[in-house]
Amino acid sequence: MTSPAASVESMEQLATVWRHMVLDRNGDADVRDLPGIAVRWADCRFAFWNCVTLTDVGADADLLERRLAEAADIMRAKKHPGFLWVFEDLVDAEARADVTAAAERAGLSYAFPGTGMAGDMLPVPEPTHPDLTFVRVSTDEQLRAYADLNSRAYGFPLEDGRDGLAGSTLWKREVHAYLGLRDGVPVTCAGAVEADGRLFVVLVATDPEWERRGYGEAVTRKALHEGGRATGLTRATLHATVAGAPVYPRIGFEPNSPLHFYGLR
């Protein structure tokens, strides 16, 4: 078990960043802060923008059971599917072992694990990679390429990713979003956005055909370098998938907050 403070930071970063992302996608998005639950639901086809997370600190088994049932009810009322995020260390020790079983009783099924990470590593040097050139996302065409890379990396239909990002002014102006180009073709991407005094890394993806070449690390370093230079921030946070978890400690991130994703069964 790590300190609950790390999980609180990770959960609050999610709630802050996702509020901006889902309202950017849908001005009528559901961004309620309920007792023990933060709803950040754009109700679009891009499942990552449809999010509910538990916010109680030290929830016992009874409270956890209640919150999971409430979260599942919220998710059932939506048009498009999404995920419940559960930060493991926000649940008390006894209840933690029963999270998945309790989620199943609420009508949820386990989707995949993740890890919250943070570090005081900024500024980072400007990166180079022999295969890549970097370009900041500033046009609709580049943003569509960014969306398509995420769709391919996470196994979504291309239209789902485009529904999450296409036409966004936020992503072209406020997110330090970068494409890594190999011979002029986008093969990897990463973004960083300011959130409550931290730089939050978001939607890192590499085309599956070009994995294990250091592309994701290089473009993440680029987003952090440029975002840090623009903001002067020194601390960065992110939520890593299993694929990304080995990469980010090389940059300076420390794993500190196990998390789990659930969808409606």
Q: Distance between CA atoms of 66 and 210, rounded to whole angstroms?
A: 43
**In the prediction, which pLDDT does 172 show?**
97
The pLDDT of residue 263 is 98
Q: Which pLDDT belongs to residue 1?
A: 44
Residues of the chain scoring pLDDT < 50? 1
Cis peptide, bond prior to residue 123, ω within 30 of zero: yes
- What is residue 3's predicted lDDT score, i.e. its pLDDT? 64
46 by DSSP, 3-state: which?
Answer: coil
Q: What is the mean pLDDT of the chain?
A: 96
Which of 229, 15, 265, 8 lies closest to 118, judged by CA? Answer: 8
Give the per-residue pLDDT at 239: 98
Token representation of residue 53: 């997370």
Model pLDDT, residue 4: 87
